[in-house]
Amino acid sequence: MQDSEQAHQHKPGKFVTGPFIESEHREYLETWLKERSYDPSRAENLPSLGLVCFYDKVPAAIIFLRNCENGIGMIDGLTSDPNLPFEIRNQAVRIAVSRLLQICQALNIKQIISFTDSERVIDLSKEFGFSETKHKVICREI
């Protein structure tokens, strides 16, 4: 391979996970929500257990877990940086979900639920053993 070809190749970065620290990571979350045309109020009332997957030391995906009662957990607020290439976002989301599942086992959570309107997220979740239910989500503002 010639030097010019090597210079244009993307070198793979390193993925690591760490806790969501509001003072350090909230701005990323709010920006990603806005860039994805989601209501930024989704960043309000965040669960206490949040996880960030970093790519080359920069947040690439963020996921939260609501620890409900009776061994049930709920994935909440999974999002990724829309400005990163798809392959990096996809890998960051996979790593974040995998790490969250490990945390769920450590917390003795027996079942995890989640809500989404994204077919891509549904397809990805099936790779992790999730299945669609026949139930419909209902909601009421108070």
Q: What is the pLDDT of residues 88-129, one digit of tens each?
A: 999 999 999 999 999 999 999 999 999 888 888 899 999 999
- Residue 8 clears pLDDT 70, i.e. is over it: no
86 φ/ψ angles, rounded to the nearest 5 degrees: -50, -45
H or E stretch covering 2 = none
Confidence at residue 11, expressed as pLDDT on a 0 to 100 scale: 55
Contacts of 62 (CB under 8 A, 6+ apart): 20, 25, 28, 29, 32, 50, 51, 52, 53, 77, 78, 79, 80, 96
- Residue 138 clears pLDDT 90, i.e. is over it: no
Strand partners, 63: 51
Q: What is the pLDDT of residues 15-53, one digit of tens each?
A: 999 999 999 999 999 999 999 988 877 778 889 899 999
- In the structure, what pLDDT confidence band is assigned to residue 85 with cuts at 50, 70 and 90? very high
Which of the pair, 121 or 9, is modelled with greater confidence?
Answer: 121
- What mean pLDDT do residues 78-91 have? 95
Confidence at residue 94, expressed as pLDDT on a 0 to 100 scale: 95
**Which of helix, strand or coil describes residue 87?**
helix
- CATH number 3.40.630.30 is the correct assignment for the domain at 12-127: yes
**Reading across the β-sheet that carries 72-80, which strands appear in turn?**
15-19, 49-55, 58-67, 72-80, 111-113
Q: What is the pTM of this model?
A: 0.84
Confidence at residue 75, expressed as pLDDT on a 0 to 100 scale: 92
